[in-house]
Structure 1
């Protein structure tokens, strides 16, 4: 089974210098490594050409974000598996082998991720993906190993291989043919939560998503946008509304969207009272931008296959903030 590791880069020469050597050292025997450059203005491409001749450079004409950047970069690749990897990932020895083996063993496996641990605190999971993601009925994402801002210590509790609802875009492994059959990444998202949308559509095609707990990588996180950057707040709130309208089946989607608008209003006021007015306005901007794209998303909704069940729990907000349940294993 042939594998392509594709690292999307935008002005990240320092990240490539720091983390690309580990990817080469731990993955070169199993995969062909590509760096897809999103029209960087630094010397990323020249640096790769000079220092890593074994890595193939794909140069995109514009910075279309995560979604368009990957769609443009992956079009000419023929490998069986595509690994969409952030440029701030530190790999571990033999991390790729159990993932490849699981795809060989399970022909209904559509996409997967390794355990994603925090490079800044290696004993704990990393916020963006942890040990695999889920959604509650209102569309709030949470992970095995991370619910809202509570991140668990890795004590081996998620070392199993098990179905999940979404795999993290920080290190997402997907079948090449299925990636395109499911419709690739939706470029309307630009960045953030487009991997959840893709995993939703992969499952609508009859395939599963898994976390491979015998594989682990470390993620720096926040290398492109820091966790508390208002632009990240804008993208997360806007894209979650797009995600729901596009994929939730039936008339219930309108009830869910109404409830989310109310809860988003609460979140915006919380930011305002905390003195974070830039995040307050980011949420307002997210909603207005969503409304401006409403008819476009409805058109996408009409052309998107649906699945009946998508949520693992009714409301993670109530469970976390009212019932004070902070860890995934305590949910069920």
Structure 2
């Protein structure tokens, strides 16, 4: 069994593989590198075979998105390669740096309660700024809105070493996610129904319900292009983000008597965001939000079964950020994590 498996999921990302695989291999620190291809149509498979013979290639028959693709790839590694003690799942558009693995592995080895961890995520194009997808570790507020150390909504902090510590957080980003392999498989991996977006937050939430921890390791840094497979301007991304947020919340929100009250507030705020999209002429995003809500209603029976099963398995309560990030950011003017913490 390998101590760590580096697993890159790919869908029509040949250009990113050509750009970033050499750096991954150069800084793999002796760990095996896998590329799991999700039925690409851009000759990614032939390209990897021809140019990277040391990479272990997994050919998945269909595109199951981030969630389904990684579930199948990691199960394949466990079955056919003897598995690994840890996985790290860098996106195909991640540029790693020298020594990016060792600090995270040291943190995981020192604390068996840590189930998931991430490095510091900076922007590939603006290298002194934190990147949207995870920054320096994420949190969830009481209405289910997510934010990060280093990135709150559209405000990105400059990296000045303020998050170079190792810190317990609520969620670690799927852009470059380290996982304790046995726990990943124990909880059933990612939720396939998410396809892509928010699946890592759902996983981190479920792991914490069982008493495990999620951390960010500020001593490790990678750079992320972002939107490599699905650009932020694509309405399908809007659909997945809004739908999966509702999926995640219904499954995991505590039963404190306010479940449907909080959902009503979320739906109202989603409506407000639809008006903002409409104001700038992005009517396809408005339709995406409407479709996301109807998809949520259609999945309620399945989500209710999942919610009941998770409640039976839960061993410890999980604390959310107890205030509204929307109110703090848009009304009170708290634009950074430090300002939120001070307030």
The TM-score, its normalising length taken from structure 2, stands at 0.95
Does the CA-based 8 Å contact 2:165-2:219 persist in structure 1?
Answer: yes
SS at match of 1:2: strand
1:311 pairs with one of 308, 317, 320: 320
Mean Cα deviation higher: 152-161 or 243-252: 243-252
SS at match of 2:220: strand
1:324 pairs with one of 325, 330, 333: 333
SS at match of 2:27: helix
Q: Distance in 2 between matches of 1:216 and 1:34?
A: 21
Does the CA-based 8 Å contact 2:101-2:220 persist in structure 1?
Answer: yes
SS at match of 1:124: coil
Corresponding position of 1:184: 189
SS at match of 2:194: coil
Structure 1 residue 330: deviation in Å?
1.2
The size of the alignment, in residue pairs, is 331
1:225 aligns with 2:226: no
Mean Cα deviation higher: 182-191 or 250-259: 250-259
Mean Cα deviation higher: 141-150 or 271-280: 271-280
1:276 pairs with one of 259, 282, 302: 282
Task: Show CA shifts across 1:34-60 (max 9, x none).
Answer: 000001112111111111111100110
Corresponding position of 1:168: 173
Structure 1 residue 285: deviation in Å?
0.7
Q: Distance in 1 between matches of 2:240 and 2:32?
A: 32
Does the CA-based 8 Å contact 1:113-1:211 persist in structure 2?
Answer: yes
The TM-score, its normalising length taken from structure 1, stands at 0.98
Q: Distance in 2 between matches of 1:13 and 1:115?
A: 25
1:124 aligns with 2:133: no
Q: Distance in 2 between matches of 1:299 and 1:218?
A: 39
Corresponding position of 2:80: none
Mean Cα deviation higher: 126-135 or 221-230: 221-230
Structure 1 residue 269: deviation in Å?
1.1
Corresponding position of 1:141: 146
1:90 aligns with 2:104: no
Structure 1 residue 8: deviation in Å?
0.3
SS at match of 1:158: coil
Mean Cα deviation higher: 65-74 or 19-28: 19-28
1:105 aligns with 2:114: no
Structure 1 residue 206: deviation in Å?
1.2
2:157 pairs with one of 146, 152, 158: 152
Q: Distance in 1 between matches of 2:240 and 2:145?
A: 14
Structure 1 residue 28: deviation in Å?
4.1
Q: Distance in 1 between matches of 2:322 and 2:153?
A: 14
Corresponding position of 2:297: 291
Q: Distance in 2 between matches of 1:224 and 1:43?
A: 15
Does the CA-based 8 Å contact 1:238-1:286 persist in structure 2?
Answer: yes
Corresponding position of 1:300: 306
SS at match of 1:125: coil
Corresponding position of 1:252: 258
CA RMSD of aligned residues (A): 1.0
The answer for unaligned runs of 5 or more in structure 1 is none
1:4 aligns with 2:5: yes
Does the CA-based 8 Å contact 1:182-1:205 persist in structure 2?
Answer: no
SS at match of 1:162: strand
Q: Distance in 2 between matches of 1:196 and 1:329?
A: 22
SS at match of 1:249: coil
